[in-house]
Amino acid sequence: MAETTEDMAQRVLVLAPIGRDAQAAAQQLAAAGLSCVVCSELKELCKELDHGAGAALVAEEAFSQEGIWQVDHWVARQPAWSDFPFVVLTSQYTSALAHARRLRLLQSLGNVSLLERPLAAVTLVSAIQVALHARRRQYEMQDYLMERERSAAQLEDLVRARTRQLEETNQQLRIEIAERKQAESALQQAQKMEVVGQMTGGVAHDFNNLLTAVLGNLELATRRNKTDDIARFLDGATRAAQRGAKLTSQLLAFSRTQRLKTEPTDLNELVTGMGDLLFRTIGATIRIETVLQKDLWPALIDSGQIELVILNLAINARDAMPGGGRLTIATANMDRTDPRRPPELPAAEYVTVSVNDTGTGMTDEVLNKVFEPFFTTKGTGSGTGLGLSQVYGIAKQSGGGVVIDTTLGKGTTVAVYLPRAQGVPVRQLAEDEAAKSLMGRHAIILVADDDPDVRQLTISCLDSLGYRVLAADGGRAALEMIDTADKIDLMLVDIAMPEMNGVEVGRAILAKRPGLPIIYMSGYVGHAALDESKERQLLKKPFTLAELAAKIEEALRTNEPGPNLSSNIVPIRPGSRG
């Protein structure tokens, strides 16, 4: 069985090399119940000290041996908790040499008790027991210190582990805080753009009503005018009003309230088809390149609106390279795991079209405002500030988003994300639908519009086309006329009206007269959105006389002619003068 610390603390080492002192002392100690180990020389004593003991009983003559340095060395290298007790047996003999030797023992051994021989057994046992008791306390201190060291080591390990956990947690918190700040910033930007978009849409509605009346009356005046001088003035006024209509269209694109005709489209084909237009618009000082991905997915978009997006981005790129440079238009597929996807877009498959320039780049301040309507860095008269806002609105309304990567002095890349379509890309018809012959009929048409100027213009246009017209200044008045009028062949209703919007009016009238053709007029649809089944029934403001005639003819053609419809046909072509 291995000896324990308690066993070590009870061992007494005895070294008395002359006579029978060692055996006699060992017998006396054994009789007192103490465990003794008799050593023959200092070397053996040191070996047993290394093994462990509670005290050593040594005759002073043993230290006259040559190996005393070994004891000195052992004492000197004791651990901090140890102060080993030596009991040294001396004699009554005194001399200067003996006195010096005893002083040296006291200094070198440290914890020394001197017992003068001859001595009684009880004195010897008592001195040894005192030394053993002190040694046991030292071993207890050793155990305490070792336990404290183990506890300290465990605590250090625990602190290191906890510190590591805290560092990992802090790092995760920093990441989450950064992501939260990014999300909050994106949300604030989206909310700001949403509020601005709603306000912009409302303003656009009012302007569209105004421009509808202006352009419509100018067109009617132009058709009736026979004087070249007056025609010149009318043409100038018409061009100015048309520029206003274009600005209003851009505002509606930003507010995301225009009607989009989305269909599967091949973006590669669309970009390639814009080649001549881009070359004429950008000029010869800028090199135009395309990087078109093979096997590109079809995008679910309104191709006409995306052409405007690409053209606006190309014009902005041109303006950012006044000294010339390179413009690159690229397309790519983006799966749902692509890290470049904007964080506000849901995980889905997208098709991207990007425009890159080697121009001046943008500052952070400009980048934060770049999508706001009317914000521009161009000089007065050089831009409206609606180009990028229109890009933003079209992309968002299409179900996608826009990401701008820019570096000052190196250039800018604007990537537009568009939803992937599952169908086959639709090929554009070679025949221009607007160039078809449009026919008017003798029919009774009910016009409902709360704006008196637009209502009167619509009446005048319909009169010029040969239709009979009933007019209502709102939805409720239109419902009353439906109840009292015998024959109504078609209804023109404005969508944005107080009390009852046009969609609600149409629903109520169809409940009274199922199958009645209805054309919805709108410059701003807002929240009263039409479902897809009514898209072909929408007439956008401002409209021309030809567009109005075509829409009415389409609506009447898709319904069985009633007994009140005449075969008297008046051909009208877009842009004709009557």
Taking only the tens place, the pLDDT of each residue in 479-517 is 988 888 888 889 999 888 888 888 899 899 999 889 899
pLDDT at position 382:
47
**Segment 213-216 long-range contacts (CB within 8 Å, at least 24 positions apart):** 213/451, 213/453, 213/454, 213/456, 213/457, 214/241, 214/542, 215/241, 215/242, 215/245, 215/542, 215/544, 216/454, 216/457, 216/458, 216/460, 216/461, 216/542, 216/543, 216/544, 216/545
Looking at the structure, tell me whether residues 372 and 225 fall in a common domain. Answer: no
C-beta separation of 203 from 558 below 8 A: no
**With 50 as the cut, is the pLDDT of residue 251 above it?**
yes
**Does residue 430 belong to any structural domain of this protein?**
no
C-beta separation of 500 from 473 below 8 A: no
Tell me the two tokens of residue 228. Answer: 């070249």
Looking at the structure, tell me whether residues 277 and 407 fall in a common domain. Answer: yes
Question: Which is more confident, 329 or 64?
Answer: 329
Q: Which of 255-264, 322-331, 533-542 has the highest mean pLDDT?
A: 322-331
**Does residue 275 belong to any structural domain of this protein?**
yes
Euclidean distance between CA atoms 150 and 143, whole angstroms: 10
Q: Which of 232, 255, 278 is the last residue of a domain?
A: 255
**Does residue 356 belong to any structural domain of this protein?**
yes
Q: Which of 207, 222, 255 is the last residue of a domain?
A: 255
pLDDT at position 432:
39
CB atoms within 10 A of CB 103: 10
Which one, of 130, 137, 82, 138, lies nearest residue 110 by Cα?
Answer: 82
Looking at the structure, tell me whether residues 60 and 196 fall in a common domain. Answer: no
**Does residue 424 belong to any structural domain of this protein?**
no
Which CATH number do you get for residue 470? 3.40.50.2300
**With 50 as the cut, is the pLDDT of residue 437 above it?**
no
Looking at the structure, tell me whether residues 201 and 233 fall in a common domain. Answer: yes
Q: Which of 213, 231, 255 is the last residue of a domain?
A: 255
User: Cα–Cα distances in Å, from 398 out to 122, 160, 270, 305, 309?
Assistant: 108, 53, 16, 10, 12
Euclidean distance between CA atoms 252 and 490, whole angstroms: 28
Taking only the tens place, the pLDDT of each residue in 166-177 is 999 999 998 888
**Does residue 578 belong to any structural domain of this protein?**
no
Looking at the structure, tell me whether residues 15 and 129 fall in a common domain. Answer: yes
Looking at the structure, tell me whether residues 440 and 532 fall in a common domain. Answer: yes
C-beta separation of 316 from 351 below 8 A: no
CA atoms within 13 A on the CB side of 270: 28
Bridging pattern class, strands 86-90 and 518-522: unpaired
Residues 6+ apart with CB under 8 A from 540: 258, 259, 521, 522, 523
Domain extent at residue 229: 174-255
pLDDT at position 86:
92
Residue carrying structure tokens 């701008």: 404
pLDDT at position 254:
47
Taking only the tens place, the pLDDT of each residue in 383-402 is 544 567 778 888 888 888 88
Looking at the structure, tell me whether residues 125 and 225 fall in a common domain. Answer: no
CA Rg, the chain, in Å?
52
**With 50 as the cut, is the pLDDT of residue 38 above it?**
yes
Looking at the structure, tell me whether residues 442 and 403 fall in a common domain. Answer: no
Looking at the structure, tell me whether residues 273 and 414 fall in a common domain. Answer: yes
pLDDT at position 356:
94
Looking at the structure, tell me whether residues 298 and 357 fall in a common domain. Answer: yes
Average pLDDT value for the chain: 79
Looking at the structure, tell me whether residues 294 and 370 fall in a common domain. Answer: yes
**Does residue 333 belong to any structural domain of this protein?**
yes
Which CATH number do you get for residue 287? 3.30.565.10
C-beta separation of 88 from 61 below 8 A: no
3-state secondary structure of 343: coil
Taking only the tens place, the pLDDT of each residue in 40-58 is 888 888 898 988 889 999 9
Choose the weakest-confidence range: 17-31, 308-322, 363-377.
Answer: 363-377
Domain count, the chain: 4
pLDDT (mean) for 75-82? 88
By percentage, how much of the chain surpasses pLDDT 90? 15
pLDDT at position 249:
59
**Does residue 162 belong to any structural domain of this protein?**
no
**With 60 as the cut, is the pLDDT of residue 214 above it?**
yes
Looking at the structure, tell me whether residues 268 and 400 fall in a common domain. Answer: yes
Choose the weakest-confidence range: 178-182, 358-362, 370-374, 538-542.
Answer: 370-374
Binned at pLDDT 50, 70 and 90, residue 333 comes out as very high
**Does residue 239 belong to any structural domain of this protein?**
yes
